[in-house]
Every structure is written in structure tokens, then in C-alpha cells.
Amino acid sequence: MCPSKILSFLKVELSGGGVLLDAQPVDEKRYPLAAVVDRGSSNKNRGSIVHLEYSGSRDGNISDSELQNLFLIGKGIVYDSGGYDLKVGGNMATMHRDKCGAAAVAGFFKILNLLKPANINVRGSLAFVRNSIGENAYVSDEIITSRAGVRVRVTNTDAEGRMVMTDLLCEAKEKVSFGLSNTRFMLVYTRMIVVLKK
């Protein structure tokens, strides 16, 4: 499923509740590492960055320090060929599932929409990008400057998950800098969840 179809699906599934959805193309200035992975894709398969937000109601006189804040970053590689470090020997089969981290985050927001829990704010950022091969695709030994200003040397184009999630994590960290306490970040990959606590 290409990013535009995923976006259409999410708009239907997450409508009519308390979840806000904002989607935009992968912007090279805001998300340079995701953009380098996306640049090998055709126009039909251009990537999208999706932001989801849920703000639960507050029970009674709950203070800001008691409010739970959760940031979820979902890996949504819609298809992973491995890029120029091509997956071989049948290892490319089922790589349409490399978007399951982002799908899990979207599913969590669907549950929030249905249950409407109180005393919690949840933000999600999903990177739906295809790791393709083409004349504009990124290659090993490229050096890209991330959103945080850190230079990243590509050593393997099949490490695209880290590339697309790094700038989203940096952006989430920037949003927390205004002093939210009780904040957790979760990076959701296809087979792994990483939890970071502020």
C-alpha cells in the first residue's frame, strides 16, 4: 500500500473522535534523514509524515505534574527493498510489513478515539516512506545532516528505519522542551519497542 492510500485509510479510521490528524509530504528541511530515504521513490510512492494528537479530559483538579504525556514514533516503511544494499535470497518477501510499527501506533490512536481515556496526552509521529532503488536513491557513504545538526554517514541503505525515525524523535524532543513532566517517548518498530523516559 503506498503512502497516499495509507493516509486516506487513516483519515477514515480516525475521524469523528478526539484524535487530530495532520499529514504532510516528507520535507527535506524538517526531516532530512527521512527525505534522503524517500528521494528514491517515484511520485506515486512519495512518502508522508503523519502527526496524530490526542488530549484526554482532566479529572477534577489534576495538576500538570500528574498528567501523563506520551510520544509515539512509528516506523512506517511501506516497502523495504534494502535500497542499494539490496535484500537478496528471498529476504525481500513480506517487507511490505515493515510499516507495522506505524500501524501499531495508528491502532493505538484508534483505541484512544474509542475509549477516550482521561488524564493523558498522546502525540504520534509516523513516517510512511518507501525504501526504493532508482537514479535518485541514497547510497552508502553519503553524509546527511540531521534535524539536530548531527552529520550522519550512511553505511548501509538497509538501515532506513533509523533514518526515518531520528528526525521525528528530535522533533518530539523539541516539543517537550517547554517543560512537560511525566513524559515518555516510545519508538515503535516492526518487532521492537524502545521506551525513553524524560
Task: Please identify every residue annotated as catalytic.
Answer: 87, 162
Q: All 3 cell numbers of residue 99?
A: 510499516
Nearest to 137 by CA among 182, 56, 82, 198: 82
Tell me how far apart the alpha carbons of residues 61 and 24 are, in angstroms, rounded to a whole number: 37
- DSSP state letter for 43: G
Nearest to 73 by CA among 120, 97, 108, 27: 108
Tell me how far apart the alpha carbons of residues 109 and 105 are, in angstroms, rounded to a whole number: 6
Distances (CA, A) of 77 to 4, 10, 114, 180, 189: 13, 16, 27, 30, 10
Tell me how far apart the alpha carbons of residues 87 and 156 are, in angstroms, rounded to a whole number: 11
